[in-house]
Structure 1
Amino acid sequence: MKFIGRRRWASAGVAFATAVATVGFALSAPAGAAPGCRVDYTASNWGGGGFGGKVKITNLGDALSSWTLKFTFPGSQKVTQGWSATWSQSGANVTATSMSWNGNLGTGASTEIGFNGSYTGSSNVDPTSFTLNGTVCTGQQPPTSTTTTTTTSGNPNPGNRVDNPYVGAKMYVNPDWSAKAAAEPGGSRVANQPTGVWIDRIAAITGTVDSRGIEGHLDEAVRQAAGAPLVIQFVIYNLPGRDCSALASNGELKPDEIGRYKTEYIDPIAAIFAKPAYKDLRIVTTVEIDSLPNLVTNVTPRPTAVPACDVMKANGNYVTGVGYALAKLGAVPNVYNYLDIGHHGWIGWDDNFGPTAELLFQAANASGSTKANVHGFIANTANYGALKEPYFTIEDSVNGTSVRQSKWVDWNRYVDEQSYAQAFRQRAVQAGFDPGVGMLIDTSRNGWGGAARPAGPGPKTSVDAYVNGGRLDRRIHTGNWCNQAGAGLGERPKAAPAAGIDAYVWMKPPGESDGASKEIPNNEGKGADKMCDPAYTGNIRNGNNMSGALPDAPLSGKWFSAQFQELMRNAYPAL
C-alpha cells in the first residue's frame, strides 16, 4: 500500500485477529535423482485485506547453485512487497528467484523467503502447488492452523498510516549510540534520547564494527515498544555520486552505479522493513540528505557550480534514485518517508526555494513513485541553523536598512529553521504535494547555548551590528557545516511542537563527526573536506570565510568525543 495523503485514524484499543496457517510440502525429484526439497508455507492474515507470507525451502537433493520457486494463488492474492528473493507475478502465478547470496543451497540446507500481500473478499486461501527448479510439489501434509487475537493501541490496521507518526508514540533509543554517549563524562544526561540510525553504505544494512544492522535495530525496537506504538528513524543515505559538492561524506557508489543502488541497497532495506515482525513499528525514513538541493544550487551556470554536481544533474541518477527509494519504501505500509530540504542558509533564497520544491516533486513522481509516497520533509539534517532567532526578524530594519541587507542574512528570506520549514511546507503544497504533509526539524546541534549566547538584540548602530549582536547562531557563515565550534545540543526530540511541524528530532546523533579534519585512509569512500579543516579560509559557497570547524575530527560518522563534550556544555535548553 502506498500513502493516501495524510489521513487521521482512530487510535487505541482496537483488536484484530491474526490467522496463521502452515502447510508442508515435499517436492518429488526427476527420475534417477534424489528427492528434491521440502517447502513450508505460512500465511499470517492481518485483516483489512492484508497478509504476510513466509516460505521455508529445504533442499533434500543435490546441492543447488541457484533456484526458482513457483506457485499459483487460488484467489485474488497479490504480492505487494517481497524479500530475500526476486519476486514477480503474472496473473495468479508467482515466481521467486534466488538472490546472489542465497542461491547456494546444499543438501539438507534451508532458506527462508517472504512477502507481504493483499487480497479481496473474506478469505485468503493458501496455494496448493509449488515447483522448485521445475520439480512439481507432491505429498502434501495435512495443514495445521492456529488463531491468535492481539490487542494493539495506536494504529489499529496495518497499512493505515497515522497523520503524525510521532504523536502518542515512544521513540527508539539506539543502544549503540547510547552506550557511547553514556561513556562520556556527564553523557548519561542525554544517553536516553532517541536518535537517527544512519544507513550510509551497503555494509550498514547487515551491520558494521560501529553499529548493528537494520534487523538488529528493528528487533531492539520491537523490544522497546513492548506492544505500544514506537517510532524508529533511519537515514537513507547512499546515492550514486553522493554529496557531489562535498568530499567528507562522498559515498561508496560511483555516479553511474544506479543499478547497485537499487538492487544492493534499497531493495534489501525495503525487504527488511516489510517483514511481518516489524509491521507494528512506525518506521520513519529521512531520504537522501544533501542530494536534490545540490542540483539546484551547485550546478552550471551558478557561480557555486561543482563539476561533480553537473555530472549528477546530467545523468539524472539523483532523481532516479530518490524516486526509486520512495517507491520501494513507500510500498511498505508502516514506513513514513520524509524528503530532505537542506536548511534555511542553503535553500532560503528566492532563486533556490521554489526550484527546490519543484525538483522534489519531480523526484517524488519518478521511477514508479508518486507524491503519495512522501509523508513530509525534514530541515536542518545534520546542520546547525538556529531553530528560532528571537532577537531579530526578517522584517526588521536599522536606520532604514533591512536586515536582509546584512552580511549574515545576505538577502535570504529566512533567518531560522522553523520559519523556513513552515514556509517550505506551503511551497511544497503549491508544487503539487498533498496539503497534509508534515515537517521535521533536526535540533540535535542547533541549541547555541553557553556563554556566547546573546541575551537580547544587538545594538542599532548598523544593520550588521544589530544582526551579529543578536543572532543565536554563532557560526562565521551559514554555509559552514562541518563540526562547528561553539555549537550546542538543541531542543530535545518532541512531537507536534508547532504548527505544521510533526516533530523536533535528533536525526544526526550528537557526537558523530561530520567529516575528518585531514585525510584518513578508509574503505568507506570518505575523503577529507577542507570545510572540516579549521585552517581553511573558505570558498564561494561559504563566502570565502574561515570554516569554523573543530580540529582533530575523525571520519564522518565516527565518534568525536571533544565535539560531544562541547555540545553538552553549550546545550540550550541547558542540561
Structure 2
Amino acid sequence: MRALVAALVACALLAGCSVDPAPEATTPDPEPSATAPRASAAPESSEAPAASPTPSPSDQASTATGFHDAGSQADGQVAQLEAAGRDADADAIRRIAEQPVATWLGEWMQDVTGTVAGTTRAAADAGQVALFVVYAIPGRDCGLHSAGGVPEDQYLDFVRDVADGIEAGSRTWIVLEPDALAQMGDCDGQGDRAGLLAGAAEILDDAGADVFLDAGHSGWRAPEDVIARLETVGTEHLAGFSTNTSNYQRTEDERAWAEPIAAATGLEFIVDTSRNGNGSNGEWCNPSGRALGEPPQILDDGPMRAVAWVKAPGESDGTCNGGPPAGQWWMEGALALAGAA
C-alpha cells in the first residue's frame, strides 16, 4: 500500500502536480498559516540503546532509514470505518494512516516529557528520526483559529519539559513554532518573541535535537524578509528552517524560495508536503480541491534536508469551509485529500 501511495502521489505531482493563506510574498501583512495542534500518545518501547555521540546533520540525513511513525488520528478512523463496513473509505484514509506524521506538542498535553521520551526511544530502537512540532509560543496564531500558547514566563520551562524527554543519542528533529517567525511583530501579546525563539532553540539544541525554526512559506514573506528575521533570532542553535507547515504550496515553489534563504544563512530546510499535491488555490483554511503530497522522505539533496508530513492530513485548519475546530479530525476533508492524490 505504501508503494501504491507513493506512486499515486508522484503521478499527481507529475500531472501538474508545502499553516495558512498565501498572499503574495511582497504583501506587508499576509494572513498566517492554518496551523492546528495535535496530540498523540507516546508509544511503548523497550529501553533505549546506550547513548552515543549525536551525529552531525549530514550524518543523520544519510544514516536514518526514515521518520518514525508515532501514529495519528487517522489510525483510529480506519478501524472505525472498517467496523462500519465502509471499506472504500477505510482504504482511502489508510493512505494517510500509513505515513509518519509529526507529533505536535503544546499546552493541551498533560505529559509532554513522557510523550517525547516514549517517541524518541521507539525511534532510536528503529534507527529512525523522531519528528516533533513545538507549538506553544505566547500569542500563538495572533488569536486566530489556533490561538493559545503558554504565558511568557512559563514558555522556556515548557520547552525544557520537551528537552527533558529527548533520548540521548536519538535522532530528534523539532519544527519550532509554526508561524511564529513570520508573524513576529504582527500582533500584541507576543512578549519578547525573538528572545523566546532563541532561548527555545538553544535548549533543544543542547538536548541533542536538530531544530528547524518555521519560516512560513513561499506565498507569505519574501526571502530577504525571512533572512532578516532569522538573523534577529540568531542561527547558532538552528540546524535549519521549515517551510510550508500546514500550507499547500508546491514543493518546487518552496524549494526555489528556500534555497536563497539557505544560502544566506548556511541553514538547511525541510518542506511540509502533507497536503500540497495540487498546490495552493490561495486559501489557507480547509480549502477545497487539495490533495495529499509527496510521502515523507529524508534527502541528501543540497540544503533540502527532507520532505515531511508536518501537518497531519485530515485534521482541520479551523472552523472554516465546513471544518470543525482546529486540530480535530475532519472526515470529509480527509477523504477529499486522499481521493485527489
* TM-score (norm: length of structure 1): 0.46
Amino acid of the structure 2 residue aligned with 1:565: L
Q: Aligned pair 1:249/2:142, yes or no?
A: no
Given the alignment, which residue of 258, 275, 278 partners 2:152?
A: 258
Q: Relative to structure 1, is the Cα distance of residues 563 and 159 closer, same or farther in structure 2, using a 3 angstrom cutoff?
A: same
Q: In structure 2, which of residues 207, 210, 232 is the aligned counterpart of residue 362 of structure 1?
A: 232
* Identical-residue share of aligned pairs (%): 27
- Equivalent pairs counted in the alignment come to 283
CA offsets 1:201-257 (integer angstroms, 9 cap, x no match): 2x4251xxxxxx55245425533543x42201111111111112x51011143xxx3
Deviation, structure 1 residue 166:
3.6
Shift of 1:292: 1.8
Distance 1:328 1:224 in 2: 21
| CA displacement, residues 53-83 of structure 1 (integer Å, 9 cap, x when unaligned) | xxxxxxxxxxxxxxxxxxxxxxxxxxxxxxx
Letter in 2 for 1:259: D
Contact 1:221 1:230 in 2 (8 A): no
Structure-2 residue corresponding to 1:66? none
Measure how far apart 1:189 and its partner are. Answer: 3.1
Larger Rg computed on CA atoms: 1
Determine whether 1:485 maps to 2:288.
Answer: yes
* Structure richer in helix, relative to its length: 2
Unaligned runs of 5+ in 1: 1-149, 207-212, 299-308, 365-370, 389-415, 430-434, 449-472, 517-531, 533-549
Kindly indicate whether residue 121 of structure 2 is the aligned counterpart of residue 318 of structure 1. Answer: no
Matched, 1:229 2:99: no
| 2: CA distance, partners of 1:164 / 1:445 | 28
Alpha-carbon offset, residue 164 of structure 1: 5.4
The equivalences for 1:411-450 within 5 A come to: 416-427=253-264, 429=265, 435=266, 437-448=267-278
CA contact (8 A) 2:73 2:329 kept: no
Following the alignment from structure 1 to structure 2, what is the Cα–Cα distance between the partners of residues 377 and 220? 22
Question: Within 2, Cα distance between the matches of 1:501 and 1:258?
Answer: 33
Give the TM-score normalised by structure 2: 0.76
1:373 CA displacement: 0.9
Structure with more contact order per residue of length (Cα contacts < 8 Å, sep ≥ 6): 2
CA distance in 1, matches of 2:101, 2:145: 21
Shift of 1:289: 1.0
- Counterpart of 2:29 in structure 1 is none
Higher strand share: 1
Aligned letter for 2:135?
Answer: Y
Residue 193 of structure 1, aligned match among 81, 94, 99: 99
Is the CA contact 1:339–1:378 (under 8 Å) kept in the aligned structure 2?
A: yes
Give the C-alpha shift of residue 362 in structure 1. Answer: 1.8
Once the two structures are TM-superposed, the CA of residue 310 in structure 1 deviates from its matched residue by 5.0
Q: Is the 8 A contact 1:345 1:385 kept in 2?
A: yes
The alpha-carbon distance between structure 1 residues 425 and 224, as it changes in their structure 2 partners (threshold 3 A), is closer
**Equivalent-residue separation in structure 1 for 2:316 and 2:300 (angstroms):** 27
In structure 2, C-alpha distance between the alignment counterparts of 1:177 and 1:570, rounded to whole Å: 20
* CA deviation profile, 1:4-31 (whole Å, cap 9, x unmatched): xxxxxxxxxxxxxxxxxxxxxxxxxxxx
Q: Deviations over 1:162-188 (max 9, x none)?
A: 325343313211224352353352122
Tell me if 1:510 matches 2:313. Answer: yes
| Structure 2 unaligned residues grouped into runs of 5+ | 1-47, 82-89
Runs of 4+ in 1 over 6 A off after TM superposition: none
Matches of 1:235 and 1:223 in 2, distance apart? 17
- Distance change >3 Å, CA 188–CA 221, structure 1 → 2: farther
Q: Does 1:288 align with 2:185?
A: no
Residues 26-425 of structure 1 aligned to structure 2 (within 5 Å): 157-163=52-58, 165-169=60-64, 170-180=66-76, 182-183=78-79, 184=81, 185-186=90-91, 187-201=93-107, 203-204=108-109, 206=111, 213-216=112-115, 218-223=117-122, 225-226=124-125, 228-244=126-142, 246-253=143-150, 257-263=151-157, 265-273=158-166, 278-295=167-184, 298=186, 309=187, 312=190, 315=191, 317-333=192-208, 335-348=209-222, 353-364=223-234, 371-388=235-252, 416-425=253-262
Once the 2 structures are TM-superposed, how far is the Cα of residue 426 of structure 1 from its aligned partner? 1.6
CA distance in 2, matches of 1:151, 1:283: 15
CA distance in 1, matches of 2:329, 2:61: 27
